Amino acid sequence: MAKRVSVIKYNTDEVQGEGSFVVLSALKVKEIRELRQQGKKKGFDAFEGGIQLLAQHVVDWDWVDDEGEPLPLPKSDLGVVDLLTNDEAELLSILLTGGQDEEEGEGETKN
């Protein structure tokens, strides 16, 4: 019987160290369409729009800051995104948009 896999846990060793992870919910086509429509409006900041969308899809993580303190989830504190390194933000973007498949990301499904 079919069962949708819309929440996936990914290994993030390359940006947060051994054993680290992030859990992301899948983007819906509707969200991508809405972001593209927003992008057609004058003055729209695509980077900020992408950050907002990303924040909505981080379900869980065990990420820490430079001092080893746990980072809050972006959906509860959007300001945490400002603390991410470029590599961390880029990895989240790749994982969210499917630029890296589950196997490469050592993802596990969560249902």
pLDDT digits (tens, 9 = 90+) for 13-59: 999 999 999 999 999 999 989 888 888 888 888 888 888 889 999 99
pLDDT at 80: 95
The pTM for the full model equals 0.80
What are the beta bridge partners of residue 108? Answer: 9
Q: Ramachandran region of residue 68, left (φ > 0), alpha (ψ -120 to 50) or beta?
A: left
For residues 107 and 11, the answer to whether their CB atoms sit within 8 Å is yes
Helices and strands in the chain, H and E counts:
4, 4
82 CB-near residues (< 8 Å, 6+ apart):
none
pLDDT at 105: 42
Tell me: the pLDDT tens digits for 54-97? 999 999 999 999 999 999 999 999 999 999 999 999 999 999 98
Sequence ranges of the domains in the chain: 7-109
